[in-house]
Amino acid sequence: MPENPRPRTTPLPGQEHFARPAERDLGAVDALTTTAAPSGFWSDAWHDVRRKPLFWVSATLILLVLLVASFPGMFSAIDPRTCALADSLAAPRAGHPFGFDRQGCDIYSRTVHGARASVTVGVLTTAIVVVVGTLLGAVAGYVGGWADTVLSRLTDIFFAIPLVLAAIVIMSLSTQRTALTVAIVLAAFGWTSIARIARGTVMSVKNNEFVTAARSLGMGRTAILFRHVLPNAAAPIIVYATVALGTFIVAEATLSFLGIGLPPSTVSWGGDISQGQGAIRTDPQILLYPAGALALTVLGFIMMGDVVRDALDPKARTR
| Residue 49: band (very low, low, confident or very high) from pLDDT cuts 50, 70, 90 | confident
What's the mean pLDDT in 281-290?
A: 87
How does the average pLDDT of the chain come out, rounded?
84
Measured between its terminal Cα atoms, the distance across the chain in Å is 66
User: Closest by alpha carbon to 221, among 232, 206, 236?
Assistant: 206
| Residue 295: band (very low, low, confident or very high) from pLDDT cuts 50, 70, 90 | very high
Domains and CATH numbers, the chain: 45-76+101-318 (1.10.3720.10)
Threshold 0.85, pTM exceeds: no
What's the mean pLDDT in 141-168?
A: 91
Sort residue 14 into left (φ over 0), alpha (ψ -120 to 50) or beta: left
What's the rounded Cα separation, in Å, for the pair 91 and 263? Answer: 28
What's the rounded Cα separation, in Å, for the pair 317 and 53? Answer: 16
pLDDT at 285: 85
Cβ atoms of 206 and 141 closer than 8 Å: yes
Q: What percent of the chain has pLDDT over 90?
A: 41
Neighbour count for residue 81 (Cβ, 10 Å): 12
Q: What percent of the chain has pLDDT over 70?
A: 85
Cβ atoms of 250 and 294 closer than 8 Å: yes
**pLDDT surpasses 70 at 27:** no
Helices (H), the chain: 23-30, 41-49, 53-70, 107-143, 145-159, 163-173, 179-190, 192-205, 209-216, 221-224, 230-232, 234-257, 269-276, 285-312, 314-318
User: What does the angle CA 297 – CA 79 – CA 70 come to, to the nearest 5 degrees?
Assistant: 40
What's the rounded Cα separation, in Å, for the pair 67 and 73? Answer: 10
The mean-pLDDT minimum among 13-27, 50-64, 110-124, 138-152 falls in 13-27
What's the mean pLDDT in 193-209?
A: 90
What's the mean pLDDT in 290-294?
A: 93
What's the rounded Cα separation, in Å, for the pair 129 and 184? Answer: 9
- 3-class state of residue 254 by DSSP: helix
Q: What is the DSSP letter of 5?
A: P
What's the rounded Cα separation, in Å, for the pair 31 and 227? Answer: 37
**pLDDT surpasses 70 at 157:** yes
pLDDT at 38: 55
Number of residues assigned to the chain? 319
pLDDT at 138: 92
Q: What is the pLDDT of residues 120-144, one digit of tens each?
A: 999 999 999 999 999 999 999 998 8
Q: What is the pLDDT of residues 78-93, one digit of tens each?
A: 989 888 888 888 888 8
**pLDDT surpasses 70 at 275:** yes
What's the mean pLDDT in 283-302?
A: 91
